[in-house]
């Protein structure tokens, strides 16, 4: 409360005041509230947007590092909403959040346990920190060519056999919405005195609906990452990093790491968009939007079941808003292309097997009806030759023989792909999305990898 008025979105409100009471500025950004911008671009994004395109040193909006003013208030409000001990706004996406977590809470003498389906930013973080990495392999859904959940028993097995592991880091949900039992995993971690980070990049809506899985924020994790820009309604690149209420992590460490890794000119537009997304989701209109997203997803799932040749990936406890489907005789990439070319429909992603559809808070039922009609039409046509030209995710058991950092910085050479089998990869090969590595530094390249390296002629390997 301020002057008897409830502040719903502190940073959004401060930005509004700033826009209404501009000062005469002699500072960055040099476009001076849009005046110095290429006119076509100004028309494209709107003068109004450029008027508030500023960074955090000016106009009494506060600073991000250290947190002050309206930015501090917005982070505090987010922390209350997400029930965290401390919430940080991150303008470099969950990529920077993951880098910062690795930088803050791992070090070269530490053993960590990482899900093999982690995003490549986790790998980058561990390359920077030099921690000794152990791997846990998630369940594989070979028919769908995707990774599934991580079994708590597999985590326990690893922790039991290596008592030096002090941190477990998992991705939950997977890109396709598969959910692991984080509560059980957190209990196991506590028993073995290991901390738990959950990369919940794709689960930022979970806090706001009882129809979605439970957030790791309330299940015993020490830190949680949310890409609010992916599904939460914030602008692209805007994420949050939460240190949970009962976290064993020292807050100062992540504050320092973020300060070192963050841009020194964070975009106020992005920061305000995080404040706005949080305010929206915790208010009545966001609640309605999310209810619609869930309803649309349920509607699509029940109707899609009736379409011949169409299959819906269905795991117990899945995030209902992430819908992975496939059609007989078509690869996911073929189905994606037909939807784009013939129906002007753009889906979230496609793989060799299927396509991923998101039911978003900005989505409309009519759009799902249109998509269902398109799928019906496609299913009625003959598609006799399934051509498997592109492969996205090998689900082979990785043979990892060197530590990430050691392999990344070892002397290397570039060799022809055809000569690479049996050699040790020294680079992160990962298609985005989903950003899960096909090969990581220190992994033996196998014959089975080759079809997944379709865009590579030469591969970077450890010099022999
Ligand atoms: C699980 C996971 N973590 C982190 C990231 C990185 O997120 P961002 O794009 O916000 O940097 C992604 C991106 O796809 C992801 O899938």
pLDDT in tens, 429-449: 888 778 999 999 999 999 999
- For residue 239, the ligand 1 atom closest to its alpha carbon is 10
Q: Say yes or no: 409 and 451 in one domain.
A: yes
Distance 175 CA to ligand 1 centre (A): 9
Q: Say yes or no: 210 and 324 in one domain.
A: no
Distance 91 CA to ligand 1 centre (A): 13
Query: Is the residue at 306 inside a domain?
Result: yes
Segment 357-370 mean pLDDT = 98
Does the pLDDT value for residue 132 go beyond 90? yes
Query: Is the residue at 37 inside a domain?
Result: no
Distance 95 CA to ligand 1 centre (A): 6
Distance 386 CA to ligand 1 centre (A): 31
Query: What's the structural domain count of the chain?
Result: 3
Q: Say yes or no: 192 and 256 in one domain.
A: yes
Distance 67 CA to ligand 1 centre (A): 24
**HEC per residue, the chain:** CECCECCCCHHHHHHHHHHHCCCCCCCCCCCCCCCCCCHHHHHHHCHHHHHCCCCCCCCCCCCCCCCCHHHHHHHHHHHHHHCEEEEEEECCHHHHHHHHHHHHHCCCCCEEEEECCCEHHHHHHHHHHCCEEEEECCCEECCCCEECCCCHHHHHHHHHHCCCEEEEEEECCCCCCCCCCHHHHHHHHHHCCCEEEEECHHHCCHHHCCCCCCCHHHCCCCEEEECHHHHHCCCCCCEEEEEECCCCCCHHHHHHHHHHHCCCCCCHHHHHHHHHHHHHHHCHHHHHHHHHHHHHHHHHHHHHCCCCCEEECCCCCCCCCEEEEEECCCCHHHHHHHHHHHHCCCCCEECCCCEEEECCCCCCHHHHHHHHHHHHHHHHCCCCCCCCCCCCCCCCCCCECCCHHHHHHCCEEEEEHHHCCCCEECCCEECCCCCEEEECCCEECCHHHHHHHCCCCEEEEECC
Residue 18 pLDDT: 92
> For 256-309, what is each residue's pLDDT tens digit?
999 999 999 999 999 999 999 999 999 999 999 999 999 999 999 999 999 999
Segment 206-235 mean pLDDT = 98
Q: Are 76 and 67 in contact (CB under 8 A)?
A: no
Distance 197 CA to ligand 1 centre (A): 14
Interacting residues of 99 by C-beta distance below 8 A, sequence separation 6+: 121, 124, 125, 128, 257, 261
Segment 29-52 mean pLDDT = 96
Which has the minimum average pLDDT: 2-16, 29-43, 71-85?
2-16
Segment 69-75 mean pLDDT = 97
- Expressed as residue numbers, the domain containing 356 is 289-380
Rounded Cα distance between 326 and 401, Å, is: 35
Does the pLDDT value for residue 375 go beyond 60? yes
Rounded Cα distance between 321 and 120, Å, is: 24
Residue 6 pLDDT: 60
Does the pLDDT value for residue 386 go beyond 80? no
Which has the minimum average pLDDT: 19-33, 186-200, 217-231, 238-252?
19-33
Distance 100 CA to ligand 1 centre (A): 14
Residue 290's beta-bridge partner residues?
A: none
Q: Say yes or no: 176 and 318 in one domain.
A: no
- For residue 118, the ligand 1 atom closest to its alpha carbon is 1
Residue nearest to atom 7 of ligand 1 (CA): 94
Q: Say yes or no: 373 and 410 in one domain.
A: no
Distance 25 CA to ligand 1 centre (A): 36
Choosing from 380, 395, 425, the residue where a domain stops is 380
Q: Say yes or no: 111 and 244 in one domain.
A: yes
Choosing from 321, 345, 380, the residue where a domain stops is 380
Distance 199 CA to ligand 1 centre (A): 8
Residue 441's CATH number: 3.90.100.10
Query: Is the residue at 255 inside a domain?
Result: yes
Q: Say yes or no: 93 and 241 in one domain.
A: yes
- For residue 433, the ligand 1 atom closest to its alpha carbon is 14
Ligand 1 mutation pick, 90, 206, 227, max ligand atoms within 8 A of CB = 227
Q: Say yes or no: 170 and 236 in one domain.
A: yes
Distance 19 CA to ligand 1 centre (A): 32
Residue 88 pLDDT: 98
Q: Are 315 and 149 in contact (CB under 8 A)?
A: yes
Query: Is the residue at 236 inside a domain?
Result: yes
Query: Is the residue at 172 inside a domain?
Result: yes
Distance 116 CA to ligand 1 centre (A): 15
Which has the minimum average pLDDT: 28-32, 79-83, 392-396?
392-396
pLDDT band per the 50, 70, 90 thresholds, residue 41: very high
Q: Say yes or no: 259 and 316 in one domain.
A: no
Residue 414's beta-bridge partner residues?
A: 460
Q: Are 426 and 386 in contact (CB under 8 A)?
A: no
Query: Is the residue at 396 inside a domain?
Result: no
Q: Say yes or no: 315 and 412 in one domain.
A: no
- For residue 237, the ligand 1 atom closest to its alpha carbon is 10
Residue 1 pLDDT: 46
Query: Is the residue at 34 inside a domain?
Result: no
Residues with CB under 6 A from ligand 1: 93-95, 98, 119, 121, 171, 175, 199, 201, 227, 239, 433-435
- For residue 174, the ligand 1 atom closest to its alpha carbon is 1
Does the pLDDT value for residue 461 go beyond 80? yes
Residue 309's CATH number: 3.90.1150.10
Does the pLDDT value for residue 242 go beyond 60? yes
Residue 216's CATH number: 3.40.640.10
Distance 87 CA to ligand 1 centre (A): 18
Which has the minimum average pLDDT: 43-47, 114-118, 335-339, 390-394?
390-394
Residue 385 pLDDT: 64
Q: Say yes or no: 108 and 163 in one domain.
A: yes
Rounded Cα distance between 172 and 178, Å, is: 7
Residue 394 pLDDT: 81
Sign, CA torsion 62/67/69/74: positive
Which has the minimum average pLDDT: 18-27, 64-73, 171-180, 235-244?
18-27
> For 148-205, what is each residue's pLDDT tens digit?
999 999 999 999 999 999 999 999 999 999 999 999 999 999 999 999 999 999 999 9
Ligand 1 mutation pick, 216, 434, 435, 437, max ligand atoms within 8 A of CB = 435
pTM here? 0.95
Rounded Cα distance between 428 and 445, Å, is: 12
Query: Is the residue at 15 inside a domain?
Result: no
pLDDT band per the 50, 70, 90 thresholds, residue 387: low
Spatial CA neighbour of 159 closest among 184, 139, 142, 178: 184
Q: Say yes or no: 320 and 183 in one domain.
A: no
Residue 433 pLDDT: 79
Which position has the token pair 């911008």? 37
Residue 455 pLDDT: 84
- For residue 229, the ligand 1 atom closest to its alpha carbon is 10
Ligand 1 mutation pick, 121, 146, 180, 430, max ligand atoms within 8 A of CB = 121
Ligand 1 mutation pick, 119, 204, 273, max ligand atoms within 8 A of CB = 119
Segment 9-17 mean pLDDT = 95
Choosing from 268, 297, 317, the residue where a domain stops is 268
Ligand 1 mutation pick, 91, 92, 95, 226, max ligand atoms within 8 A of CB = 95
């Amino acid at each position: 409360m301020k002057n008897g008025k409830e502040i719903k979105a502190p940073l959004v409100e401060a930005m509004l005041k700033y826009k209404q009471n501009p000062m005469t500025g002699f500072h960055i950004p040099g476009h001076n509230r849009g005046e110095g911008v290429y006119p076509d671009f100004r028309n494209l994004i709107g003068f109004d947007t450029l008027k508030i395109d500023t960074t955090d040193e000016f106009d009494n909006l506060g600073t991000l590092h250290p947190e002050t003013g309206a930015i501090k208030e917005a982070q505090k409000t987010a922390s209350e909403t997400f029930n965290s001990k401390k919430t940080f706004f991150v303008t470099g996406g969950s990529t920077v959040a993951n880098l910062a977590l690795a930088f803050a809470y791992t070090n070269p003498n530490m053993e960590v346990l990482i899900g093999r389906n982690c995003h490549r930013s986790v790998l980058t973080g561990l390359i920077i920190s030099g921690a000794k990495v152990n791997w846990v392999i998630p369940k594989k859904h070979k028919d769908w060519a995707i990774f599934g959940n991580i079994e708590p028993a597999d985590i326990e097995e690893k922790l039991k056999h290596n008592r030096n592991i002090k941190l477990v880091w998992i991705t939950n949900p997977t890109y396709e919405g598969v959910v692991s039992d984080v509560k059980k995993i957190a209990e196991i971690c506590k028993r073995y005195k290991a901390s738990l980070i959950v990369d919940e990049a794709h689960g930022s809506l979970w806090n706001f609906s009882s129809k979605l899985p439970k957030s790791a924020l309330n299940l015993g994790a020490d830190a949680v990452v949310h890409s609010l820009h992916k599904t939460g309604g914030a602008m692209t690149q805007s994420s949050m990093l939460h240190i949970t209420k009962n976290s064993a992590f020292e807050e100062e460490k992540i504050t320092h790491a973020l300060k070192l890794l963050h841009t020194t000119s964070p975009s106020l537009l992005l920061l305000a968009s995080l404040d706005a997304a949080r305010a929206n989701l915790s208010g009545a209109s966001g609640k309605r939007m999310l209810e619609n997203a869930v309803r649309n997803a349920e509607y699509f799932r029940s109707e899609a079941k009736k379409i011949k040749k169409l299959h819906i990936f269905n795991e117990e406890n899945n995030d209902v808003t992430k819908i992975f489907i496939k059609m007989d005789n078509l690869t996911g990439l073929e189905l994606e292309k037909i939807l784009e070319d013939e129906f002007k429909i753009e889906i979230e992603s496609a793989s060799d097997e299927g396509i991923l559809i998101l039911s978003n808070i900005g989505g409309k039922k009519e759009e799902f009806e249109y998509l269902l009609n398109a799928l019906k039409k496609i299913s009625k046509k003959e598609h006799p030759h399934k051509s498997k030209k592109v492969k996205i995710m090998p689900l082979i058991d990785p043979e990892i023989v060197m530590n990430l950092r050691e392999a990344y910085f070892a002397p290397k050479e570039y060799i022809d792909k055809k000569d690479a089998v049996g050699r040790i990869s020294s680079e992160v090969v990962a298609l985005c999305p989903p950003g899960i590595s096909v090969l990581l530094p220190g992994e033996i390249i196998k014959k089975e990898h080759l079809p997944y390296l379709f865009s590579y002629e030469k591969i970077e390997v450890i010099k022999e």
